[in-house]
Amino acid sequence: DQQVKQNSPSLSVQEGRISILNCDYTNSMFDYFLWYKKYPAEGPTFLISISSIKDKNEDGRFTVFLNKSAKHLSLHIVPSQPGDSAVYFCAASARGTGNQFYFGTGTSLTVIP
């Protein structure tokens, strides 16, 4: 049972435009959400996170939005750069119930120069 879902396997965006990556979850116990970026032949690297007590967290060009009622989060990248081309995973955890992170299937972002 996939508790974290990324329904778009791929996304193409022009350089300089906004990239929006979406993620849905089903477990209402999740209280911490993360985005990871993965290049080929490398492990995932942490990008940005958000706690369930917030609805927005911003770090430079990256902003994560959380809509708890809809069980939905999104990652906005503005402006998109060719170096952002990678696979992006969202992840969720329920910190009070253990240390397991649940990952989505990933969205492959291609930023076209």
Partner 1 sequence: SAVISQKPSRDICQRGTSLTIQCQVDSQVTMMFWYRQQPGQSLTLIATANQGSEATYESGFVIDKFPISRPNLTFSTLTVSNMSPEDSSIYLCSVVGDVYTEAFFGQGTRLTVV
d(CA 99, CA 83) in angstroms, rounded, equals 31
Judged by CB, which is closer to partner 1: 41, or 53? Answer: 41
- Residue 9, interface with partner 1 (CB under 8 A)? yes
Question: Helix or strand or coil: residue 104?
Answer: coil
The CA distance from 13 to 3, in Å, is 27
Q: Which is nearer to partner 1, 4 or 75 (CB)?
A: 4
Work out which of 77, 89, 92, 111 binds partner 1, going by CB under 8 A. 89
The reply on whether position 91 binds partner 1 by CB under 8 A is yes
Strands (E) across 19-81 are located at 19-25, 32-38, 45-51, 56-59, 62-67, 72-77
Q: Is 50 in the site for partner 1 (CB under 8 A)?
A: no
Q: What is the rounded distance in angstroms from the CA atom of residue 72 to the CA atom of residue 65?
A: 8
Cβ nearer to partner 1, comparing 65 with 102:
102
Q: Is 95 in the site for partner 1 (CB under 8 A)?
A: yes
Q: List residues near partner 1 by CB under 8 A.
A: 2, 4, 9, 32, 34, 36, 41-46, 49, 89, 91, 95, 99-106
